[in-house]
A and B are shown apart, each in its own frame.
Chain A
Amino acid sequence: MVLHKLKRLFSRLGAGCINKIWRLGAGARLFGLTLISSGESFRRFRLTIREVYFTGVMSLIIILVSAFFVGMVLALQGYHTLQKYGSSEAIGVLVALALVRELGPVVTALLFAGRAGTAITAEIGLMKATEQLSAMEMMAVSPIARVIAPRFWAGVIAMPVLATLFSMVGILGGYLVAVPLIGVDAGAFWSQMQANVDWEYDILNGVFKSLVFGVACTMIALFEGYDAPPTAEGVSRATTRTVVTSSLAVLGLDFILTSFMIAV
């Protein structure tokens, strides 16, 4: 009896592993197909612009408001610790480096996965459930070129823009707390920041990170939608999986990218 249960446990574990690897392969294949058939999303750039509107512009409010608060909290917390060491002028460096290097790209990607990724998954899942994708194929319109690729490129374009805005607005929030509220000298705030934030190593690396996160988040959302079982439950589960997988992928990729960037 025990042996039987153990056997079942192992077989389920193995099935789960095989399923995960199958999904990884299918996702990679969809990624390749998207890249190959993305010519149309540039030739008819209107399609992509429309999706940039839905994924990027519509996410602006949540991104900007959270950036503002993240920056303000960073300044408050940073000041609290820095003043113990008598270096409260370094608050500008702390806020800028934290935002530009890490929090900007990562928090933007997490919010993007929640705000835009779920919408993409639900939309494509529902398109599949209502057989719109099959209808396109019947009309010899490739759903990957017409539906998937424009959304992919829109995500790739929108993410760095959103992350840059996040960093900038966060720094402004930090400035508002540090200078008018706490009373750190404004000149020291900006000059220390400029002396210690490097254009290439900090800012461009942050933008590159957000570009990678954009590819990962959008691709995961698209794949989960494309792969969702065509039922109400299937779409809802796919939406949940989008958030979970994207968040984990972003945090894991962030570690890998950072370890490369710091080593250089």
Chain B
Amino acid sequence: MTMPLLQVNDLKKHFPISGGLFGRTKSKVHAVDGVSFEIARGETLSLVGESGCGKSTVGRAILRLFDITAGQIVLDGERIDDLGPHRLREMRRRVQVVFQDPFSSLNPRMRIRDILAEPINNFGLAKSAAERDARIAELMEIVRLPRDAVNRRPHEFSGGQRQRIGIARALAAKPELIVCDEAVSALDVSVKAQIVNLLQDLQREFGLALLFISHDLAIVEHMTHRVAVMYLGKIVEIAPRRQIFASPGHPYTKALLSAVPVPEPGAERTPIILKGDVPSPVNPPKGCRFHTRCPLAFDRCRSEVPELRLKGEDQWVACHLENA
């Protein structure tokens, strides 16, 4: 088996909540609490889950936008979670990001040319100004925007166009992995489809790996290779797309999938309604984190944390019901 492009081992990120006169740490938000997965070259892994489950934190940790609390992030066989500033820059080129909000992800005071030139200059990817300009024009072509738009500023573009610019900025660094943090969630349905198709084309063309963070299961089903389902800072299920959509293993995954709207009038479906709210990540429940809302919970769930176990071919589920 070939080495995966990205390996995340038991990643933890706790945010301290400080208060009082000297900023003592009162408690911690367990945003991500032991997450492990792998992404192969050219593969799309979707990270799904409801708001606040820590999926964006995983993305930001991989981008090294903050220091992680514990665990390892391995890019192409090299640990990147403890790199010094110099090596970190080289790593940054290989992992890029596309954000959710196309309005705040581009500096409103910069022209598109300067936005795209930033990564090219930072990583020394062009030897001359002419080469850089040619590369910028090429990037505009790749994301299907007019070349002469480079002299305009972000506010002159629509949401979908801005998202293309955001993708162009990510591509400018010639990355191997792009973290798409809810990259299409803020867009109209038709624009969403265009951007998703663009991402898929780019993936095929450049052999990109994508970490597609989303809560939109319909889009995920359309474009992903594998899916990881997160709940309250942990992965509860990780499996290839076909398996997870055909036979979800974890009760949470089942509930999540049953909530996806079916685009067919009168279609029969019985949504599993989860009761209650997501518990606070400051004080997560003992045992299985889902037991407070799980319709099938029994005693063991309240005391013992379930591990991810193999169920069938390549489907990993963290549920006591699976290995009872």
Q: Are A and B subunits of one complex?
A: no
Instruction: Give residues in B with beta carbon < 8 Å to A.
Output: none
Name A residues whose Cβ lies closer than 8 Å to a Cβ of B: none
